[in-house]
């Protein structure tokens, strides 16, 4: 179900006693019940339907709306004692110890949006120099995630012309 590479990468980095999380999918894979090691993989969460939102970026993918809403859907899970929400694409690899060390430099009780910009100047010029690009992943402090969860759907409605999920999060 996870694919040999994906499952093994997640297993090698996910620490169930120290982390909480889930893998969001658009729909449940047919062989999801055959998952052999529930304790070493995060649970599967199914994203909400986003067909009610307009998406007008010519040539873009509507999945950008679904991916942007993962912030809201993750906050709604209502995990206790959360300091940071960390998001990445399906091909993003996080090193938890390095990530924890970096995030410890910030006060998680304040609103922080931490991530890396694109290495490509043209992308920065088009999409913004202050935006964290999703491919590298980004982290949002708990207070900021709570605020974003309240306004995200409004922002998705307001900015149907934006390209990707990272643009939508940045604009919110």
29 occurs within a structural domain: no
Q: Is residue 52 part of a domain?
A: yes
Give mean pLDDT in consecutive 10-residue pieces for the chain, a chain of 172 residues.
Answer: 53 78 82 58 87 90 86 91 86 83 96 73 58 69 94 90 70 62
Q: Is residue 138 part of a domain?
A: yes
Q: Is residue 37 part of a domain?
A: no
Retrieve residue 144's tokens. Answer: 């900021």
How high is the pLDDT of residue 2? 39
Range of the domain at 155: 47-171
Give me the sign of the Cα torsion angle 14, 17, 19, 22: positive
Do the domain assignments include residue 11?
A: no
pLDDT at position 40, please? 73
Task: Tell me the Cα Rg of the chain.
Answer: 16
Residue 131 lies in a domain: yes
When divided into structural domains, the chain yields a total of 1
Confirm whether 36 is domain-assigned: no
Residue 90 lies in a domain: yes
Report the distance separating Cα 92 and Cα 138, nearest Å: 10
* The two structure tokens encoding residue 115: 């991530």
Looking at residue 103, what is its pLDDT?
Answer: 95
DSSP assigned state of 129: S
């Amino acid at each position: 179900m996870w694919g040999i590479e994906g499952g093994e990468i997640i297993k090698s980095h996910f620490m169930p006693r120290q982390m909480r999380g889930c893998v969001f999918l658009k729909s449940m894979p047919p062989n999801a019940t055959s998952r052999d090691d529930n304790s070493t993989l995060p649970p599967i969460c199914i994203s909400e339907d986003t067909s009610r939102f307009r998406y007008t970026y010519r040539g873009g993918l509507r999945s950008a709306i679904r991916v942007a809403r993962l912030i809201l859907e993750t906050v709604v899970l209502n995990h206790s004692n959360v300091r940071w929400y960390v998001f990445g694409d399906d091909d993003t690899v996080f090193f938890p110890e390095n990530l924890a060390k970096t995030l410890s430099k910030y006060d998680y009780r304040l609103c922080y949006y931490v991530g890396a910009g694109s290495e490509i100047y043209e992308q920065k010029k088009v999409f913004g120099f202050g935006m964290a690009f999703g491919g590298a992943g980004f982290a949002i402090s708990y207070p900021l995630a709570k605020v974003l969860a309240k306004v995200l759907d409004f922002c998705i409605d307001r900015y149907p012309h934006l390209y990707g999920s990272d643009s939508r999060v940045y604009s919110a």
